A and B are shown apart, each in its own frame.
Chain A
Amino acid sequence: MGLLSGQTAKTDVTLLPCGDTALVVEFGDTIDRSLSETVLRLQARVHSATLPGVLETVPTFRSLMIHYDPTSTCAADLSQQVLALAHTKDTVTPRRRGWRVPVCYEPDYAPDLAAVAKSTGLSPDAVVSLHLSVRYHVYMIGFLPGFPYMGDLPPQLVLPRHEDPRVRIPVGAVAIARSMTGIYPVESPGGWHLIGRTPVPMFDVRSASPSLLAPGDAVAFAPIDAAAYQEILAASKAGEYRLDCTEEAA
């Protein structure tokens, strides 16, 4: 049961309390591009509205979480304000960033590529071509600092996660699971299938905006060989590499 619910032009919206410090604005319960765009548009409106007591917002596949300071506002007031924003029409076209992230798919950098090829009945080259065939939408960042959930994968590449997660996945591993592709920003355990590796740092605490990617970004992958991987890695470590993005209409 929501605090408040209502209709936007296309979507039902439900406001759910998470204790007395966060409010979830839920638009659905599926992974869906248009649902994600609705979430991101509301996030942009909440940011520009600078509502009293709002600390930060977290977009996910299906909802926007609004973290707030309960000593500066209350759920009832915030709910009214947010619902009004959910019903607002945008006057400006939203913008998004476009990236081309270099990925090495050579066997040493892609420990699960052969197994993925076997599971999907494709050749390793066909798996790579399919992975390169999509310009992905960053739905959300989560699980680890800077870990992007990007979709949607071509249906032929959809696989369940490993039943036994790997204990140690290296930094930069490009992975797939279900309808998503992601990049491990730090060494960590994980259950996704590793089909490539990028030398580009996904997360850098020394930056004021530490995650390279943000929800709403568009990401294409560009294949590179091992020599190029090592070159970019070395340049990146020396602080002489920067991946640029483009600005475009969303």
Chain B
Amino acid sequence: MIAHLKVRDAGMHTTLQDLGRFGFQSMGVPVSGALDSISLMLANRLVGNHDNTAALENLYHGATLEVCADSVRVALTGSATPLQVLSNGESDMTEIPPWRSVLLRRGQVLRVGAVRGSVCCYLAVAGGFDIPPCLDSLSTYVRGAFGGFAGRALRVGDALPLVLFNVRDNGDQYFPNPPELDTQQPLRVVLGPQQHHFTDEALEIFLSSSYTVSPHSDRMGMRLDGPRLRHRSGYNIVSDAIATGAIQVPGSGQPIVLLADHQTTGGYPKIANVISADLPRAGRLRPGDSLRFQAIELAQAEVIRREQVTQLDAMAAELRPVAVNR
């Protein structure tokens, strides 16, 4: 039997995601990819993968998987949730903190459980999954039923084939200073491209009010509840294309932040766009979380993004080996 992880409990919505599917948006194919790309990249670095290797994105409540390989190295990142490891016929349970890798052996069971401190967390496996890419990516696009594992979220009984059938014993690592999962700071936006479709009052309300993440949010869009934003005249525009993080405002006046699985084009005016450095933070927000928006200049957004790349590289350079205690 080939090395694989067997799905004991699929979790609420667990999908394979990489950094996204680029090159097909002109054919109407969404980018998809991890909601929190930073946590995906850091999970991959913990197990020695390339940043773009697909990992399991666990939404709300994560999966439980049985190791059906001689050994695997995994890492869980992106939330405060530790990885539960069940051994000896599941009679022993240990908790592995997030932001570190751990070696598991055949028969051990790993359980993610309820995701805390974010809506999602990432389980990366050293070597990655042995699944052919679809349109150059392993990201799952569930609405289109393609990508990832069979184009869908995991189900009980699925066997996820692994590239490696074993890993070397020593090699577990951890991040001494993992990123803070702060959701208190405002999401920074660049206004436009259709801010002039809104009244001056609407723009002021948008930048000064607190919004709440609606339970009707999904990987396509984060719907917000809050003060209504009024359009100057009508809420239909001749369709144009959409960038990830665009904040569109339909007739209800309630903004929607478009996330990984968003449509490539749309006909609602977009008041602003979340800056790329803050997209992973937007992707972590849970239903019921409150948030604010802060407008910054485009040039500033570019500086912030470059600083973030430098910080991530510095964080990755701090990877430390886990002390062997057996």
Contact = CB atoms under 8 A, between A and B. Distances in A.
Interface in B122-168: 134-135, 144-147
A203 B264 CA distance: 15
A24 B26 contact: no
A196 to B, nearest CB: 21
Given A29-B238, A70-B302, A141 B28 contact: yes
A146 B27 contact: yes
Nearest to A35: B238
Nearest to A66: B241
Contact of A19 (B29, B146, B190, B237): B190
Chain A interface size range:
35 or more
Contacts of A58: 25-26, 241, 264-265
B75 interface: no
Interface stretch (A83-91, A106-114, A121-129, A208-216): A208-216
Interface stretch (B65-73, B106-114, B243-251): B243-251
Given A16-B192, A19-B246, A70-B276, A60 B241 contact: yes
In this complex, the member of A43, A145, A203 whose beta carbon has the largest number of chain B beta carbons within 10 angstroms is A145
Nearest to A139: B239
B176 interface: no
B243 A67 contact: yes
Contacts of B237: 29
Given A19-B275, A62-B240, A143-B263, A74 B302 contact: yes
| Interface size, B (range) | 35 or more
Contacts of A60: 238-241, 265
A205 interface: yes
A59 interface: yes
A215 B192 contact: no
Interface string A129-159: 0000000000011111111010000000000
A65 interface: yes
Nearest to B145: A186
Interface string A25-48: 010011100000000000100000
B240 A61 contact: yes
Contacts of A26: 193, 240
B240 A19 contact: no
Interface in B235-287: 237-246, 263-266, 270, 273-276
Contact of B28 (A18, A24, A61, A145): A145
Interface in B172-216: 189-190, 192-193
Interface in A76-123: 76
Contacts of B121: none
Given A71-B306, A141-B27, A145-B28, A55 B264 contact: no
A21 B148 CA distance: 25
Contact of A205 (B146, B192, B243): B146
B305 A210 contact: no
A17 interface: yes
A31 B239 CA distance: 9
B26 A57 contact: yes
11 contacts: A19-B190, A21-B276, A29-B238, A56-B26, A70-B301, A141-B28, A142-B239, A142-B266, A146-B27, A147-B28, A205-B147
